[in-house]
Amino acid sequence: MRLVLLGAPGAGKGTQCKNIVSQYGLGHLSSGDILRQQRSQGTELGKKARSYMDSGALVPDEIIIEMMTEAIEKVPAAGYILDGFPRTVEQAVELDKALACSGQEIDAVLNLKIEDATVAKRMSGRRSCPQCGAVYHIENLKPKVEGLCDNDGAELVQRPDDKAEVVANRLKIYHQQSEPLVDYYKNNGTVYDIDAENDADDVSALISEKLDSLVKT
Ligand code: AP5
């Protein structure tokens, strides 16, 4: 299966990908995680991406398209889920072209639907591990010891782009530049709308229902 997961910032894409990956044995390619890794390694790409990310703007298409098409080529054949990419119609067009070169296409798109007010609550409470990238929430997904990562004991931090003013900008950009992708994919293939207002386990069950039906066909 080659899947795309769409949804506003904080809709729960990363959270849901963990379950999808373990349940269906897919590779997980998160453009945000790859960019954050590049930043922490101090690469040229990471340096270029920094100011865009911290202001909530999108990193330019040409940088992202090259980074993600390279990453896709390295994924094992069993399939993958793309999280955070594509994020503009231009990125989707270029992805389709790159896949077509090797006779492939996206099999299905999952679209997490959520209100802006819910996003604001989720982002303000999100805490991340700077070492392993694990994600928590101060109310919905608490670590065993307050403020510390369950995996490695590192002190949890708030992502710089989770500050309220940056979140507002990210949501504005999502509605302007990323939401049109839903229609792009509806005109080109299968899109499953998923109600992401529910708690994480219920969202996960809704996704499994859709993916199980896809596997059977
Ligand atoms: P990226 O890291 O991709 O950020 P995003 O898409 O804005 O998504 P998030 O990681 O913020 O949220 P999520 O949907 O994964 O939610 P999560 O599961 O963590 O991108 C960051 C930046 O990189 C972009 O702004 C841009 O600058 C750049 N970038 C990346 N890709 C790009 C591209 N393709 N083109 C250009 N630029 C690009 O959940 C959030 C919180 O809610 C957590 O605390 C979680 O525990 C909690 N939670 C999750 N689900 C639930 C639930 N159902 N109920 C209650 N709480 C929940």
Q: Which two tokens stand for residue 173?
A: 């950009």
pLDDT of residue 77: 61
Please identify every residue annotated as catalytic.
13, 87, 126, 159, 170
* Dihedral, CA of residue 132, residue 61, residue 25 and residue 113, to nearest 10: 90
Phi, psi of 104 (to 5 degrees): -115, 165
- List pocket residues of ligand 1, CB cut-off 6 Å: 7, 9-15, 31-32, 35, 52-53, 56-59, 64, 84-85, 87, 91, 122, 125-126, 135, 137, 140-141, 161, 170, 199-200, 203
From 3.40.50.11260, 3.40.50.300, 3.10.129.10, 2.40.340.10, which CATH number describes the 2-115+172-216 domain? 3.40.50.300
Q: Whose CA is nearest to atom 7 of ligand 1?
A: 9
Pocket test for ligand 1, best of 126, 159, 195, 202 (most atoms within 8 A of CB): 126
Could you report the per-residue pLDDT of 146-201, keeping only the tens digit for each?
Answer: 999 999 999 999 988 899 889 999 999 999 999 999 999 999 888 999 999 999 99
Could you report the per-residue pLDDT of 10-32, keeping only the tens digit for each?
Answer: 999 999 999 999 999 999 999 99
Could you report the per-residue pLDDT of 93-141, keeping only the tens digit for each?
Answer: 999 999 999 888 999 999 999 999 999 999 999 999 988 889 999 998 9
Are β-strands 126-128 and 2-7 bridged in parallel, bridged antiparallel, or unpaired?
unpaired
DSSP line for 141-167: B--SSTTB-TTT-PBPB--GGGSHHHH
C-alpha 39: how far from its chain's center? 17
Domain ranges of the chain: 2-115+172-216
Please state the pTM of the whole predicted model.
Answer: 0.94
